[in-house]
Amino acid sequence: MLSKTPPMGFNTWNTFGENINEKVIMETADAMVEKGLLDAGYNYLVIDDCWSEKERDPETGKIVPDHIKFPNGMKYVSDYVHSKGLKFGMYSCAGTKTCAIYPGSFDHEFLDAETFAEYGADFLKYDFCFVPQGANGPLLYRKMGMALKACGREILFSACNWGSDNVNTWIRSTGAHMYRSTGDINDSFVSMKDIALSQVDNLAYSAVGCFNDIDMLTIGMYGKGNVGSTGCNDIDYKTQFTIWCMYSAPLMLGGDIRTFSEDTLKLVTNKILLRINQDEEARPAFIVDDGGKRKVFAKHLSNNEIAIMCVNFGDNDEGANIYFENLGIPAASGYGLEMTDVYTGECIGVKKEFLRLPVAAHDCQCFICKLAK
Ligand code: GAL
């Protein structure tokens, strides 16, 4: 089964935008392996928009890779990516054009799916720009879902309609394995916060087989690249990564992996956070304490563990309250939680009934916990 757990990998858009080419992809593939990201589970390398010529081949009707960016064609790049043990991802759009105005797959769904299979693609991100007026959104995704089933290759279907048409209510029925629920992220705390808060009521719509995709990560961008914006600092990135893990969201890196620092690598390969994200039951996090911009989330994991995250989306330092009663652990039970800090690995002991934790502006605390007396 594809998408047993949230897909992980890298996507070119956040950093490179239209500045993609064979060299960037091959160097990124090398870096994913050399820096231990493949070993940590980041196995898809996805080429986003702007990879093709502006027109289809007039004779075959096929989309054609840009001959300057990809002089050896796409199979060559895909073979290289596969030779590194990675999986290869492509991008197209349900409309007549992609968002950056390259050919879209509208009315060419089966031909394009076959073309991607010929390239050796394992993943297709499918966008939603230039959809003809009156077209039925769900049907467009159903068509590509069928085309991918027919193409003779197992291809992970990554839908991207930014949450339109109440996507979470029908997207699983199209065969999609993940779906974008939000508009585009940029590398600022505000953008990340708005995206995170917009999905608080939709956490149950991310489950085994089809995960709620809250967009590619901006971790490690520090304001550089296609969606650079104001940039973020390491505290902001720590909160971003922890939220994505708590939400069972796909983890698609968007920073330039070739330049990732040790600190960035340490964050995105944190074993406990990845365990929380990749937990086989993919249970939704629930809110234990809602202070508006300051929230406490808890998430059941498969081995009797519980993850707890206190996050402060606000700009002032605050304290977060954990009432164990709200976690389902009443005082009368005698139970509390043995709590281990996911970043330091330090166990802070067994806590019961009530715990107040300081959370600095933009920061978070996160623990992996076991019931204990
Ligand atoms: C947007 C999409 C982005 C990126 C971009 C490419 O619609 O949300 O993630 O793929 O198109 O043009």
**Residue 41 C-alpha to ligand 1 middle, in angstroms?**
24
Check: CB of residue 106 under 8 Å from CB of residue 138.
no
What residues act catalytically? 127, 184
| pLDDT interval class at 1 (50, 70, 90) | confident
| pLDDT interval class at 85 (50, 70, 90) | very high
Torsion of CA 110, 93, 221, 228, to 10 degrees: 160
- Give the Cα-Cα-Cα angle 99, 101, 105 (nearest 5 degrees): 75
SS3 of 293-361: the string is: CEEEEEEECCCCEEEEEEEECCCCCEEEEEEHHHHCCCHHHCCEEEEEECCCCCEEEEECCEEEEEECC
The tens digit of pLDDT for each residue in 22-75 reads: 999 999 999 999 999 999 999 999 999 999 999 999 999 999 999 999 999 999
Q: Give me the mean pLDDT over the 171-181 stretch.
A: 98
**Residue 159 C-alpha to ligand 1 middle, in angstroms?**
11
Q: What is the pLDDT of residue 200?
A: 97
Query: Which whole-number Å values give the CA distances from 77 to 23, 85, 154, 259, in the listed order?
Result: 9, 13, 18, 21
Question: Which residues have CB under 6 Å of ligand 1?
Answer: 13, 48-49, 98-100, 127, 129, 160, 162, 184
DSSP three-state, residue 238: helix
pLDDT exceeds cutoff 90 at 191: yes
**Residue 49 C-alpha to ligand 1 middle, in angstroms?**
7
Mean pLDDT of the chain: 98
Q: What is the pLDDT of residue 269?
A: 98
